[in-house]
Amino acid sequence: MKNCLVAQSGGPTAVINSSIVGVIKGNMKAQYYDNVYGGINGIEGILNNKIINLSKLEESDIENLKYTPSAGLGSCRFKMKDYNTCEENYKELFNILDDLDIQTFFYIGGNDSMDTVSKLSEYAKIKGINKQIIGIPKTIDNDLYYTDHTPGFGSAAKYIASTVLETYLDSSVYINNGIFITETMGRDTGWLAASAALAKINGKAVADFIYLPEVEFSQEQFLKDVTNKFETNNKVYIVASEGLKDKDGNYLSSVKLSNKHDTFSHAQLGGVGNFLKSLIIENKITNRVKVLELGVSQRCGMHCVSNTDLQEACLVGENAVKYSIEGHTGFMVGIKRVQNNPYKIETFRINASEVANKIKYFPDEWITADKNNVTKEAYEYITPLIIGSPNINIENGLPRYIQLQSKDIISK
């Protein structure tokens, strides 16, 4: 008996479940593993034996899962300790894998999840444990090293650009228009905010200013930019990343509800749009300022998903299975852009240790000289990733989704 296990970790995306489907379908084609198991709530759930058998899913459920947003298996933010100081979780995990005859563990996630893949594969190698640990990339932040882009980003970019288009039109209907601010996610990087550059009407970008975390935020320059634009056009459209920082590297705004970080010591952000609104009002530019904080809708908007993104998420899952059959371990499946027009990609393997706990920042050369927008190179890079709209299953006028945790598919 030879089985595999797949689980998800970190923040969800609109297409993360497509990677699960990729693993299931990849194995259907290869007929290599006897069962594909799913770990509920990532490593944390697996350690509590929360495991289901995905091979018992009906074909219709598998297809429906592909078009269901968020983490169908549930997620976690569980940091594995250094095995040199604490082996307990490692021993528990590999014992559970042994009990279910699991040869390969596929972990879908971002750079923190690749930290887990790296640690587990290193531990298995040191202890002579014959098991494979393989990372499958996902994150709307698009901040994983070595891969051209990450599944999840294209759909989030499409959602942001579409929302910017629609709210721009809504904010432009009056004789005396004000200032509209859209706040995107992006704790450390500006990839999401930059995607607003795709929003154009009659060939002209609708966002007047796009502010990224990679650039030190200057209140003085911001007020000058906004004042000049407002006096000229009687309206201003601003897109700002939640991760904007001042000259000292401090976040402009952070949520004070808990004043805590997550288990990977990441600050919980939000509210930079209202910070900018206060600046504008306090400096008497105008009182007509509206703020839209997109929040989690950026990562679960299946109704605005990119078909390119959806298919690539499935592809990296399928190819993870292919690489596992070849005997590889300790790597993440990466995406290489072969050409841009026509758009073409291929996958490759990169050691998870090279991706773990690192951040791929938005390129400096793609930021305009005045530091308040992005260049055409950014537009050309992101555009192919948002192409296509899949046919989503509809029931009674709404999307029909599936929740795996509620399915009666036990582990054995």
407 — pLDDT class (breaks 50, 70, 90): low
CATH number at residue 87: 3.40.50.450
Asked if the model's pLDDT at residue 277 lies above 50, the reply is yes
Per cent of the chain over pLDDT 70 is 94
The pLDDT score that the predictor gives to residue 254 is: 57
* 208 carries an active-site annotation: no
Calpha distance 62→56 (Å, rounded): 10
Same domain, 334 and 249: no
Which of these, 382, 361, 369, 341, lies nearest to 197 by C-alpha position? 382
**pLDDT(212) > 80:** yes
**Is residue 368, in this structure, part of any structural domain at all?**
no
Handedness of CA 241, 246, 250, 254 (dihedral sign): negative
Instruction: Determine, yes or no, domain membership for 310.
Output: yes
Q: What is the pLDDT of residues 281-330, one digit of tens each?
A: 999 999 999 999 999 999 999 999 999 999 999 999 999 999 999 999 99
pLDDT surpasses 90 at 269: no
- Does one domain contain both 298 and 311? no
CATH classification at residue 286: 3.40.50.460
pLDDT category at 372 given cuts 50, 70, 90 is very high
Q: Distance between CA 361 and CA 186 in Å, rounded?
A: 11
Residues 128, 162, single domain; the answer is no
Give the per-residue SS3 of 349-407.
EEEHHHHCCCCCCCCHHHECCCCCCECHHHHHHHHHHHCCCCCCCEECCEECCCCHHHC
pLDDT band, very low/low/confident/very high, at 270 (cuts 50, 70, 90): low
Phi, psi of 36 (to 5 degrees): -105, 110
In a domain, 84, yes or no: yes
- Higher-pLDDT residue of 255 and 96 is 96
Average per-residue pLDDT for the chain: 93
Do the domain assignments include residue 117? yes
Among the ranges given (111-120, 194-203, 254-263), the one the predictor scored with the smallest mean pLDDT: 254-263
* Predicted confidence (pLDDT) per residue in 233-267, tens digit: 999 999 999 999 998 889 987 533 334 444 444 44
Amino acid at residue number 242: E
In-domain check, residue 224: yes
Instruction: For residues 322 and 345, state if they share a domain.
Output: yes
Residue with tokens 């499409």: 158
Q: Do 256 and 174 lie in a common domain?
A: yes
Q: DSSP string covering 42-111, please?
A: HHHHHTTT-EEEGGGS-HHHHHHHHT--S-TT-----PPPPTTT--HHHHHHHHHHHHTTEEEEEEEESH
pLDDT confidence bin for 404, thresholds 50/70/90: confident
For the chain, first and last CA: distance in Å? 12
For the chain, what is the domain count? Answer: 2
Q: Does residue 384 belong to any structural domain of this protein?
A: no
Given the residues 112, 115, 141, 188, the one annotated as active site:
141
Residue 360: which of 147, 98, 88 has the closest Cα?
Answer: 147
* Structural domain range at position 181: 153-302
Express each pLDDT in 324-340 by its tens digit. Answer: 999 999 999 999 999 99
Rounded to an integer, the average pLDDT of 343-361 is 97
Element (DSSP H or E) covering residue 221:
helix 219-233
Given a contact cutoff of 8 angstroms between Cβ atoms, the answer to whether 20 and 6 are in contact is yes
Q: Examine the fold and report which residue of 278, 302, 326 is the final residue of a domain before the chain moves on.
A: 302
